[in-house]
């Protein structure tokens, strides 16, 4: 039992209201204001290495296609043929789906074809002037090997500015040099903000993550009240990474500080990229909201190429440990989502050690206020 002086419940900061987590009209309003108006992470550029490599993904109703061109440059387009609107890469499922085009993009319906840079190439049995005709392009930018797209042509904020100061805190991890070795996709029956709020605090770590707290005892001390996320959180003595043993034979990333070799860092880059950084691997989570109560999450595991090139490389120790932690997180987030459906729930409260979660509330409100101002 806490020996701290008691405080009235109503004096705590309130979460966003019930509707923000449960109601579809509010979800759609929020989605337009955030995911269709600014930069969104869709994956890793190291997964698209050769000309013709592509990634197709559906973000709600918008179907996107990312392609590596003949010149080595990534391009982003709406995944829709200029002829009749057919998906160039069919997406019955939201994806993502990856593959490789052979020198050109061919529509599966009437075989209209496009160059890898999106320019119209051919229209079988029809003499159409292809000059100046191309797939509808989307703004694309990269940071740290991550691909971001922006569906709003009027958004003029550079990606670096949108990502904020977190980029500086993780600069020594050489993210652009890392490579994906394993990916896992989860479908979680919870609002995307419930998942982001869960990620942004460790008040829950003691009750929810016993295995994790064996590696990082600081996570459960004082409810995570004094964690220093800027410099990282220390592992227990003898541990230096997120595996079941807390150890690994993998070398630390080149260029890390001595503190970073023994501490864990976490960063949330709004709206949908969560990074958990150990000295030898990074777990990258992409949140793709599907509805008010459903979020698809892809988790990529990134390792240094020097480790991946070793004949005995095996990253399963990190992958398996993270799957335990992830399943615990997703399970408790789904419980939160179900609990909020009770008619007595109006809003929750943020404890003082959950202050980072307030950033999500502020972020969402600022985006909604901006969208409302542009519409008025």
Q: What tens digit of pLDDT does each residue of 115-125 get?
A: 999 999 999 99
Per-residue pLDDT at 229: 75
Per-residue pLDDT at 197: 95
Is 1's pLDDT higher than 60?
Answer: no
pTM higher than 0.85: yes
Distance from C-alpha of 309 to C-alpha of 39, rounded to nearest angstrom: 33
Structure tokens at 372: 């409302």
Per-residue pLDDT at 6: 85
Residues 29-84 have pLDDT tens digits of: 999 999 999 999 999 999 999 999 999 999 999 999 999 999 999 999 999 999 99
- Asked whether the beta carbons of 57 and 287 are under 8 A apart, the reply is no
Per-residue pLDDT at 14: 92
Per-residue pLDDT at 376: 58
Is 10's pLDDT higher than 90?
Answer: no
Residue 155's pLDDT band (boundaries 50, 70, 90)? confident
Is 2's pLDDT higher than 60?
Answer: no
Q: In the chain, pLDDT over 90 holds for what percent of residues?
A: 84
- Asked whether the beta carbons of 78 and 136 are under 8 A apart, the reply is yes
Mean pLDDT of 167-187: 97
Residue 3's pLDDT band (boundaries 50, 70, 90)? low
Per-residue pLDDT at 139: 97
**Are β-strands 62-68 and 13-17 bridged in parallel, bridged antiparallel, or unpaired?**
unpaired
Per-residue pLDDT at 35: 97
Comparing CA positions, the residue from 188, 234, 217, 211 lying closest to residue 333 is 188
Place of tokens 């119209």: 120
- In the predicted model, what is the mean pLDDT of the chain? 94
All domains in the chain, ordered by first residue: 12-34+163-375 (3.90.380.10), 39-151 (2.102.10.10)
Structure tokens at 255: 């260029």
Strand order through the sheet with 113-114: 105-106, 113-114, 120-122
Is 360's pLDDT higher than 80?
Answer: yes
Mean pLDDT of 192-210: 94
Residues 239-262 have pLDDT tens digits of: 999 999 999 999 999 999 999 999
Q: Give the Cβ contact number of residue 185 at 10 Å.
A: 12
Distance from C-alpha of 124 to C-alpha of 267, rounded to nearest angstrom: 49
Residue 4's pLDDT band (boundaries 50, 70, 90)? low
Per-residue pLDDT at 43: 97
Q: In the chain, pLDDT over 70 holds for what percent of residues?
A: 98
Is 227's pLDDT higher than 80?
Answer: no
Give 117's Cβ-side CA count (13 Å radius). Answer: 7
């Amino acid at each position: 039992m806490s020996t701290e002086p008691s405080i009235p419940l109503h004096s705590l900061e309130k979460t966003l209201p019930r509707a923000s987590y449960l109601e579809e009209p509010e979800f759609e309003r929020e989605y337009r204001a955030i995911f269709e108006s600014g930069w969104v992470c869709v994956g890793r550029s190291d997964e698209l290495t050769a000309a013709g490599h592509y990634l197709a993904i559906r973000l709600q109703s918008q179907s996107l296609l990312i392609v590596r061109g003949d010149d080595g440059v990534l391009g982003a387009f709406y995944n829709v043929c200029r002829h009749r609107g057919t998906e160039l890469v069919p997406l019955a499922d939201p994806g993502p789906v990856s593959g490789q085009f052979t020198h050109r993009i061919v529509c599966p319906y009437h075989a209209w074809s496009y160059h890898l840079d999106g320019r119209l190439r051919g229209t079988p049995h029809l003499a159409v002037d292809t000059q100046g005709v191309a797939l509808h392009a989307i703004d694309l930018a990269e940071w740290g090997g991550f691909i971001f797209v922006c569906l709003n042509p009027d958004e003029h904020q550079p990606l670096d500015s949108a990502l904020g100061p977190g980029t500086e805190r993780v600069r020594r991890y050489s993210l652009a040099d890392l490579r994906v070795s394993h990916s896992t996709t989860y479908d979680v029956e919870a609002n995307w903000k419930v998942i982001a709020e869960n990620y942004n605090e460790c008040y829950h770590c003691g009750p929810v993550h016993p295995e994790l707290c064996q590696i990082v005892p600081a996570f459960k001390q004082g409810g995570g009240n004094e964690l220093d996320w800027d410099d990282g959180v220390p592992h227990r003595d003898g541990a230096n990474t997120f595996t079941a043993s807390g150890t690994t034979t993998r070398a630390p990333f080149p260029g890390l500080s001595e503190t970073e070799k023994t501490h864990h860092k976490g960063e949330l880059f709004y709206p949908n990229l969560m990074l958990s950084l150990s000295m030898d691997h990074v777990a990258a989570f992409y949140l793709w909201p599907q509805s008010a109560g459903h979020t698809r999450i892809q988790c990529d595991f990134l390792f240094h190429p020097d480790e991946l090139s070793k004949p005995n490389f095996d990253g399963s120790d990190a992958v398996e440990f993270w799957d335990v932690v992830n399943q615990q997180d997703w399970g408790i987030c789904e419980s939160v989502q179900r609990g909020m459906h009770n008619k007595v729930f109006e809003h929750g409260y943020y404890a003082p050690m959950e202050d980072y979660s307030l950033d999500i509330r502020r972020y969402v409100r600022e985006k909604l206020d901006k969208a409302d101002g542009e519409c008025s």
